[in-house]
């Protein structure tokens, strides 16, 4: 039983990509990329983050529960984040400075 669990963990580590980015960091990177760009395809995100398209789709599904992310099929399709989304780190508060 323990040996089987070690194999599963090894496969999960290998599926994280050659650069060793774990799932949480990869998902935050997706948010960052989509915030900076208009949109990207799952293929472009997979290439950029060095993971499979299936991993990106799983990430998009998980992220869509907490972030305004959506997909659009077709020639002009891809993965989008709503235009009015502002990540917390980019908002500046002047209350403490005054």
The model carries a pTM of: 0.67
For residue 25, the enclosing domain spans 18-84
In a domain, 34, yes or no: yes
Over its length of 98 residues, how does the chain's per-residue pLDDT go in tens digits?
444 444 444 444 445 555 556 899 999 999 999 999 888 999 999 999 999 999 999 999 999 999 999 999 988 899 999 887 776 654 444 444 44
Structural domain count, the chain: 1
CATH number for the domain spanning 61: value is 1.10.10.10
Q: What are phi and psi of 81, to 5 degrees?
A: -125, 140
Please, are residues 26 and 17 in contact by the beta-carbon 8 Å criterion?
yes
In a domain, 27, yes or no: yes
In a domain, 58, yes or no: yes
In a domain, 6, yes or no: no
In a domain, 94, yes or no: no
- Chain segment 18-29, per-residue pLDDT in tens: 555 689 999 999
Please, are residues 39 and 83 in contact by the beta-carbon 8 Å criterion?
no
Which of these, 21, 40, 34, 92, lies nearest to 67 by C-alpha position?
Answer: 34
pLDDT at 97: 47
pLDDT at 76: 87
In a domain, 73, yes or no: yes
In a domain, 1, yes or no: no
Please, are residues 17 and 51 in contact by the beta-carbon 8 Å criterion?
yes
């Amino acid at each position: 039983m323990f040996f089987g669990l070690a194999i599963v963990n090894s496969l999960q580590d290998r599926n994280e990509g050659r650069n060793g980015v774990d799932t949480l960091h990869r998902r935050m990177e997706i948010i960052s990329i989509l915030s900076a760009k208009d949109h990207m395809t799952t293929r472009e995100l997979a290439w950029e983050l060095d993971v499979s398209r299936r991993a990106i789709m799983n990430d998009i599904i998980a992220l869509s529960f907490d972030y305004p992310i959506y997909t659009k099929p077709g020639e002009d399709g891809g993965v989008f984040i709503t235009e009015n989304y502002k990540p917390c780190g980019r908002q500046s508060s002047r209350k403490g400075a005054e």
